[in-house]
Amino acid sequence: MRQIYLDYAATTPADPRVIECVRTALDAEGDFANPSSAHRPGRNALARVDEARRQVADRIGADPREIIFTSGATEANNLALKGLAARHPAGHIVTSAIEHSSVLDVCAALEQNGHAVTRVAPDAHGAITTQAVMDALRADTFLVSVMHANNETGVINDLAAIAQVCRERGIAFHSDAAQSLGSQPLDMQSVPLDLLSLSAHKVYGPKGLGALFVRRRAGLELAPLLHGGGQERGLRPGTLATHQIAGFGMACALLGDADEVRRITALRDRLQQGIVALGDVQVHGSGERLPGHLNVGFGGVRGETLLRALDGLAVSQGSACHAASMRPSHVLEAMGVSGELAQASLRFSLGRFTTEAEIEAAIALLARVLPALRSRG
């Protein structure tokens, strides 16, 4: 059986146009040289980096000088939180209980080093409300970090409202937008965000590349995680990976197709309709969601058993970063989902190359497998 890939939230296949762009910055006939070199090949490579920086900046309404390239959103999150915390040796951080581990684990490490951390719980819909963030703020709060959209449920948070609250109080605001880039509007000109993490491999770009938006304003200064070389305004030293950066730029340039977003949303809704019709299921997360995300708990079955039975269907039980863990999703637990149902929940995520035929085949497969598993008890 041909594999049906419905795990776009974990990673996306690179767009063929991105692959070609990457190739032209790799081989001897292309712009392979070190962008820091003063000779012509180096200047050509630097021009490719500058173009990509502009393409990424244009996608989020930023100044190209505000884009710092990293190895991915995980490094960007680390740089944002650790980099700012280093400038505030003692202070309070507000985050949410449903963040990606690259935020939660950093906060736990900072807590061990003397920072205070408050983890805000989501509401019944799976969203982090502005009021909940406001209630958690203290006189010594210097940073708030709340993701734009949850990687497991797809529920979208109101960044503009939270950012405004932080700006009024002089508190830096960071958001992980790895999942939302491309399908949701992000405009740094109108939303007073200070730090924004991005990932290339979530938007049909290459793995191993991401970016951190760092607003150019007085008082916002990060300490680097690494030293040596001075690249990326001294915040991320090391030889720039021209091919990956060019690929990310191309991927960003290809985003923003409203018809694509509508098509993916319609396919997601059809999948949800087909699954709900099977009975004894619970959709996790409601309200405004990302177009391709669907998280469903299946009653009467064990999650790992269902996952194994769905041979030919590539889905996940939650974040790919925790795929080997047998613990229930911390996101679903924070939403009040029982441990048993959380263990029996699957995340389906659709994308650019998902077809209607694949959705119908996935529904048909679930319709065959689920009753058989339930009948076994």
- pLDDT tens digits for range 273-296: 999 999 999 999 998 999 999 999
- pLDDT for 326: 60
- Given a cut of 90, whether residue 143 has pLDDT beyond it is yes
What's the CA gap between 145 and 110, in Å, rounded?
13
- pLDDT tens digits for range 212-239: 999 998 789 999 999 998 899 999 999 9
What's the CA gap between 291 and 12, in Å, rounded?
15
Is residue 321 very low, low, confident or very high in pLDDT (cuts 50, 70, 90)? Answer: low
Is residue 170 very low, low, confident or very high in pLDDT (cuts 50, 70, 90)? Answer: very high
The domain spans of the chain are 4-12+257-376, 16-253
Contacts 24+ apart (CB under 8 A), 126-130: 126/98, 126/150, 126/153, 126/155, 126/284, 126/285, 126/286, 126/287, 126/331, 126/335, 127/155, 127/156, 127/157, 127/158, 127/287, 128/96, 128/98, 128/157, 128/162, 129/158, 130/158, 130/161, 130/162, 130/165
CA-nearest of 97, 266, 99 to 178 is: 99
- Given a cut of 80, whether residue 323 has pLDDT beyond it is no
- pLDDT for 377: 59
Higher pLDDT, 261 or 375: 261
What class has domain 4-12+257-376? alpha beta
Architecture of domain 16-253 in this structure: 3-Layer(aba) Sandwich (3.40)
Is residue 318 very low, low, confident or very high in pLDDT (cuts 50, 70, 90)? Answer: low
- pLDDT tens digits for range 37-94: 999 999 999 999 999 999 999 999 999 999 999 999 999 999 999 999 999 988 999 9
Residue 182 CA from chain centroid, whole number: 11
- pLDDT for 307: 87
Mean pLDDT of 166-183: 97
Active-site residue, 321 included: yes
- pLDDT tens digits for range 88-117: 988 999 999 999 999 999 999 999 999 999
